[in-house]
Amino acid sequence: MGFEIRSMHIEDYDQVLALWKRSKGIGLSSADERESIQSFLRYNPNLCFVARNGELIIGTALCGFDGRRGYLYHLAVDEAFRCQGIGNALMQRSLDELHKIGGQKCHLLVYFENESAQSFYKQTGWVLRTDILVMSKDLGCGSEPGSC
Ligand SMILES: CC(C)(COP(=O)(O)OP(=O)(O)OC[C@H]1O[C@@H](n2cnc3c(N)ncnc32)[C@H](O)[C@@H]1OP(=O)(O)O)[C@@H](O)C(=O)NCCC(=O)NCCS
């Protein structure tokens, strides 16, 4: 089945959110509300992509750059379209664009129980860090405990 990759626009939001909601392994929080995603896209132009099959959005990759490191979020491919290279292509597109603007390393967060995604990431060259823990601080803006 064919697919094309293009930059994500806020107009894609409804389809994108629906995809995230039906993708086990994607954690959603207030950071995924429309306004927050719009802000993320503004901060990170040309780092976030969707894969499309016709008018249907079948995959997403969000990448953020803070000027030092990149962070990959919400890599997801619709179940019906998995194992065709779409996840890898989306991820690689974000990483290529990150590299072009000076990013030399990218990090990502995966839930412990998401063994399938961990296998995918190992298969695609990501290295499991055993020397660091993720710590988070809620800045009182209403984010849920445990959300990423
Ligand atoms: C993880 C995910 C994005 C992979 O997308 P995909 O389009 O199926 O992956 P690809 O077809 O590009 O696979 C790329 C490579 O990884 C391998 N791979 C894919 N899924 C795998 C899995 N579950 N276990 C092991 N290897 C896997 C493929 O075989 C392929 O290897 P190859 O190049 O040697 O053939 C998809 O499974 C998904 O959306 N999962 C649910 C959401 C999720 O958990 N996202 C991660 C959040 S951190």
CATH of domain 4-123: 3.40.630.30
Encoding tokens for residue 74?
């919400």
Q: Is the CB of 84 under 6 A from ligand 1?
A: yes
- Residue 128, pLDDT score: 97
Angle between helices 13-21 and 34-43 (to 10 degrees): 110
pLDDT for 7 equals: 98
| Token pair of 86 as six digits | 């779409």
At 142 the pLDDT is 62
Q: Is 119 in the pocket of ligand 1 (CB under 6 A)?
A: yes
Q: How far apart are alpha carbons 113 and 124 in whole angstroms?
A: 19
Residue 67, Ramachandran bin (φ over 0: left; ψ between -120 and 50: alpha; else beta): left
Alpha-carbon Rg of the chain, whole angstroms?
A: 15
**How high is the pLDDT of residue 148?**
74
Question: What is the token pair recorded at 117?
Answer: 């995604």
Instruction: Find the 44 Cα to ligand 1 centroid distance in Å.
Output: 24
In angstroms, the CA 119 to CA 147 distance is: 22
Nearest CA residue ID for atom 16, ligand 1: 120
Measured in Å, residue 87 CA sits from the centre of ligand 1 at: 6
Per-residue pLDDT of the chain (148 residues; tens, 9 = 90+): 799 999 999 999 999 999 999 999 999 999 999 999 999 999 999 999 999 999 999 999 999 999 999 999 999 999 999 999 999 999 999 999 999 999 999 999 999 999 999 999 999 999 999 999 999 999 986 667 677 7
Residue nearest to atom 34 of ligand 1 (CA): 123
Residue nearest to atom 23 of ligand 1 (CA): 116
The pLDDT of residue 1 is 72
